[in-house]
Chains A and B, each alone.
Chain A
Amino acid sequence: MAPTAESGNGWYVYGVVPAEAASRELFAAARGVHASGAVTLVADGDLAAIASGVPLTEFGEAAIEENLRDEAWLEEKVRAHETVLEAALAGTPLVPFRFGTIFRSDDHVRKMLRENPHLTDVLERLRGTVELGVKAYLDVDEFERRHGDEAEAGEGGRAYLLRKQRDRRLADARASFVNACAEESHARLSSAAEDARANPLHRPEVTGGAGEMLLNGAYLVRVDAEAGFKDALSALESRFAPDGVRYELTGPWPPYNFVEVER
């Protein structure tokens, strides 16, 4: 990485929308990732980029990677990116871009739109849908209360061995329950959705007190099928809550999980 300090302004692109549906009034209330640049649309042909001006002293290649290490900066900018896209989500299909895609001029933004005509097909595929997130957690204590038999009381070798055996049985039962519940949950939710992704689980040190994560799913749901999706989720909840499973629904999100990623 060349540590040359950059100057001047760039165009930060949040995502792409159909030019015909988009109006800059959608973003009137949304603040962009930098106070100096209002959120606007840069159109070329059928497509328009949601963009705002940013100083390259803060968003240049070297600067942005440095700034990402500052948690306060990261949080503010990531939230701003999301807020701008949510403002668009209400009024139009949209292809969200990953954070930190920046062009040196509006001509470069237009060139990007011309070079990516397939985005029109992606927008068509996404029309009328939203992304919903579902995470499921297992409360391990509750699971063990429900599935464990009474602990062998008393001291001595025999009681100790019985306790060890019981702990091993419980651990096995929990592992197979977690697998079965995750599979069943993802299958039921997927069948109520157009498309689905099962993302990597967060490790226990990250989920903290929430419990053991067993599902980290993203679902592309038709707006007119959202009620059916929530019914499927309620049914899962009724079925698995007694075992200690808790579901968390988030969204609607811009369809981050349903646009191809070239990583």
Chain B
Amino acid sequence: MSEARLPAQHEVTLLELVDRVLNKGVVLTGDVTLSVAGVDLVYVGLRVLIASVASLEEERA
């Protein structure tokens, strides 16, 4: 079990942060509020990014 505050792989940590900061938390309508479509776009972008990083690391290993 890892007691570390942050996992070693920074990309996964960013995903973990995005999972909480962008995807959870109270959604109240502000004068500016992110649309669900905007959040989903971030996920699409991140998944592509992380997938390519992961495959790069596998190639290196």
A168-221 residues at the B interface, CB under 8 angstroms: 199, 202-203, 205-210
A98 CB, nearest partner CB in chain B, Å: 4
Interface contact A256-B21, CB-CB below 8 Å: yes
A34 CB, nearest partner CB in chain B, Å: 13
Alpha-carbon separation in the docked complex, A7 to B23 (Å): 27
A198 CB, nearest partner CB in chain B, Å: 13
Q: Known contacts being A69-B41, A74-B42, A99-B34, is A205 close to B47, with CB within 8 Å? A: yes
Q: Known contacts being A102-B31, A210-B12, A249-B1, is A205 close to B21, with CB within 8 Å? A: no
Q: Known contacts being A68-B38, A208-B12, is A60 close to B32, with CB within 8 Å? A: yes
Q: Known contacts being A209-B54, A249-B3, is A261 close to B41, with CB within 8 Å? A: no
B28 CB, nearest partner CB in chain A, Å: 6
Q: Is A65 an interface residue (CB 8 A)?
A: yes
Interface hub of A59, A108, A207 (most chain B Cβ within 10 A): A207
B30 CB, nearest partner CB in chain A, Å: 4
Residue of B with least CB distance to A251:
B5
Q: Is A138 an interface residue (CB 8 A)?
A: no
Among A61, A98, A102, contact of B24 (Cβ-Cβ < 8 Å): A98
Could you jot down 5 A-B contacts, CB within 8 Å?
A15-B26, A78-B17, A116-B28, A254-B25, A260-B26
